[in-house]
Amino acid sequence: MLIKRPDDFVPSEITSRAVYEGRREFLRSAGLGAAAVLASSLLPARLARAATAPRFPGLVSSPYSTRDEKLTPFKNVTGYNNYYEFGYEKEDPPANAHRLKTHPWALTVDGLVAKPRTFSIEDLLRLAPMEERIYRMRCVEGWSMLIPWVGFPISALLKQVEPLGSARYVAFQTRLDKETMTGTRLPYLNWPYSEGLRLDEALHPLAILALGLYGDILPNQNGAPVRLVVPWKYGFKGAKSLVRITLTEKQPATAWNQSQPGEYGFYANVNPTVDHPRWSQAKERRLGEFQRRPTLMFNGYGDQVAQLYAGMDLRKNF
């Protein structure tokens, strides 16, 4: 068994909770009763069950968390998503991603490493303590969230495979299943979805692999069972449902950069001074709020990551 679901636990293992806001409050804020949640195409059974799912055993709070802002409501985090494999409207992933089979699952790490290896989800859970990382997340389209992820630094995974001295980049590949991922039947992007980081970016302590959010297992529409989270970059860098990580010497091709290179650069750092060709990036709107707020350089994580780009032209390397 991989990540346990509620009915896989014995009572002594379960920490009962109600997804921070309370089960009843969650249902009220969604405007749905329990029966409607189960029936709704926008909130499949997996999402409804999240309200009673057990927490990760031994979950610890990370010192890297952003704690001075209000969390985005659970219903917004799980009900308004970009996951083009399951559709191109924001409501499509919550409606369709329940088709994704996350058991069994394997994540292969290979390329320029001394010890290539394939990890199960149980392996990933044992690599490092599971941490709650509250991060600002900024979409290139202008909306943002504050999400309490559960995960661990990518560096903990790469340490297991021992990168070679020639490794300079890390490529990420996601699951491709045209039977269940109906969005991949259209040539909108080069499938499977791919992303990439420089090795030093991947090793930065802010860069994590997430296996959960709001203290519980990651919902399918948010990239179950394991996804990339890099909080100082735009959201399209957050490759979901990862199946392969490959260390390379040359910069890897990435899905959106291949599709629309004039709009989506390799680095994808949040930079309010570099507009998208079709809209400004100077301001953003936090989901669940009406007002727009100024976009922060590096999404507010400049003190931690700006040194990674010292001497670079961030308008050219966008």
| Choice among 43-57, 128-142, 289-303 with the minimum mean pLDDT | 43-57
* pLDDT above 60 (res 151): yes
* pLDDT tens track for 10-27: 322 323 333 334 333 333
Q: How far is CA 184 from the centre of its chain?
A: 19
Q: How far is CA 87 from the centre of its chain?
A: 17
| Choice among 30-44, 105-119, 293-307 with the minimum mean pLDDT | 30-44
Dihedral sign (CA 123, 125, 129, 132): positive
Q: What percent of the chain has pLDDT over 90?
A: 80
Inter-CA distances, 269 with 64, 117, 242, Å: 18, 30, 21
Tell me the average pLDDT across 109-127. Answer: 97
The per-residue pLDDT of the chain, averaged, comes to: 86
CATH T-level assignment (fold) for domain 56-309: Sulfite Oxidase; Chain A, domain 2 (3.90.420)
Note the pTM of the prediction, 2 decimals.
0.84
Distance CA 290, CA 288 (A): 7
What's the pLDDT score for residue 57? 83
What's the pLDDT score for residue 196? 98
**Residues present in the chain in total:** 318
Residue 188 pLDDT grade (very low, low, confident, very high; cuts 50, 70, 90): confident
* pLDDT above 80 (res 150): yes
Tell me the average pLDDT across 262-273. Answer: 96
Instruction: For residue 157, give the nearest of 212, 196, 120 by alpha carbon.
Output: 120
Residue with more model confidence, 47 or 318: 318
> Count of alpha carbons within 13 Å of 18, Cβ hemisphere only?
8
Instruction: For residue 210, give the nearest of 195, 194, 225, 196 by alpha carbon.
Output: 225
* pLDDT tens track for 64-85: 999 999 999 999 999 999 999 9
Tell me the average pLDDT across 88-97. Answer: 96
Residue 187 pLDDT grade (very low, low, confident, very high; cuts 50, 70, 90): confident
Tell me the average pLDDT across 51-57. Answer: 60
Q: Which two tokens stand for residue 80?
A: 């308004």
Inter-residue contact 264 to 256 (CB < 8 Å)? yes
Domain layout of the chain by residue ranges: 56-309
Tell me the average pLDDT across 248-277. Answer: 96
* pLDDT above 60 (res 6): no
Q: How far is CA 241 from the centre of its chain?
A: 9
